[in-house]
Amino acid sequence: MMRKNALVTGAAGFIGSHLVDDLLKTGWAVTALDNFDAFYDRSLKEANAAPHRASDRYRLLEVDIRDLDRMRAQLSGDFDVIVHLAAKAGVRPSIADPLAYQEVNVRGTQNLLELAREWRTPQFVFASSSSVYGVNPRVPWSEDDAVLLPISPYASTKVSGELLGHVYSHLYGMRFLALRFFTVYGPRQRPDLAIHKFTKLMLEGRPVPFYGDGSTRRDYIFAADIVTGVRAAMEYTASRYEIINLGNNRTVSLAEMVETIEQSLGVKAALDRQPEQPGDVPQTWADVSKAGRLLGYAPRTSFSDGVAAFTEWLRGSVRTRPA
């Protein structure tokens, strides 16, 4: 049996590194792309990728997905699947710098689709986002809801990526699956995301920024469950183009999230109450029935167990800085 070969973009990041863990463990060869964007400390991504470097089935290239010529020059193109996770992330930063988000998330995605076309790569898995739904009162959110009204530049770039995928699937016959990730958390989570940020502040005895009245709700999905969904999408062959939610089909309020971290840490949070933020939606909630039907997807990690795993990881990763 020939070894399967995957190209993973954003491979040193939070979700990407968990996916690479799983691919290497199950015998895949992985070509990993990451540009080590300065959005957060490079050393965190270096630590994510460090265990992978020991494998002779792993190759890491520091490349920006906007640089099509360099990707053409450095990549062989013999991939069974491209898993495109790389993106400029975050709703609030996208409002401050929308042009950069357009360049990376839309042009970068089109560059990879062009390469997939040239290489005749049969399968393309794209990390989309629940943010594409915008402020949608019809919950839980279903992929069948065609009325997408994104309210941030980040969300609009993810809609664009899904539409580009449809064009390339239609014109060139490649299989394209857009996976709408809901709020992913777990060990290695980006430091700007709420669970990581709140837990770190609580461990340090500092106030936690608490936006609004605590009633905003998110559909949190543990990293290992997301990886299971991505792996199933990599193997899916029943149709050419699909958009699939990957969430948990359960919502957690901001207040409940803080309480769960408090229980896990044994620490009481000091809340710094602030107004709601522009670009934030009041709730996210995934209908995951399509993922179950097409991918056999069934999230297994409870929110309390996931937060416990995250807090254990964060405590273990904290290093005392020299005075």
Q: Is residue 135 part of a domain?
A: yes
Asked if 154 is an active-site residue, the reply is: yes
Low-confidence ranges of the chain (pLDDT < 70): 1, 147, 279, 318-323
Range(s) of the domain holding residue 123: 5-185+220-249+285-300
| Count of the separate structural domains present in the chain | 1
C-alpha dihedral, 313 to 82 to 161 to 38, nearest 10°: 40
CA–CA–CA angle 148, 104, 136 (5° rounding): 15
Q: Is residue 146 part of a domain?
A: yes
What strands lie across the sheet with 123-129, from one edge to the other?
Answer: 58-62, 29-34, 5-9, 81-84, 123-129, 175-181, 241-246
pLDDT digits (tens, 9 = 90+) for 82-109: 999 999 998 889 999 999 999 999 999 9
pLDDT digits (tens, 9 = 90+) for 243-287: 999 999 899 999 999 999 999 999 999 999 999 877 677 899 999
Compute the distance between CA of residue 260 and CA of residue 268 in angstroms, rounded to an integer: 11
Compute the distance between CA of residue 110 and CA of residue 124 in angstroms, rounded to an integer: 12
Per annotation, catalytic residue among 101, 133, 154, 168: 154
Q: Is residue 209 part of a domain?
A: no
pTM of the model: 0.95
Q: Is residue 262 part of a domain?
A: no
Q: Is residue 25 part of a domain?
A: yes
CA 24 to chain centre: 19
Tell me, what CATH number does 146's domain have? Answer: 3.40.50.720
Closest to 180 (Cα-Cα) out of 141, 152, 217: 141
Q: Is residue 55 part of a domain?
A: yes
Q: Is residue 278 part of a domain?
A: no
Q: Is residue 128 part of a domain?
A: yes
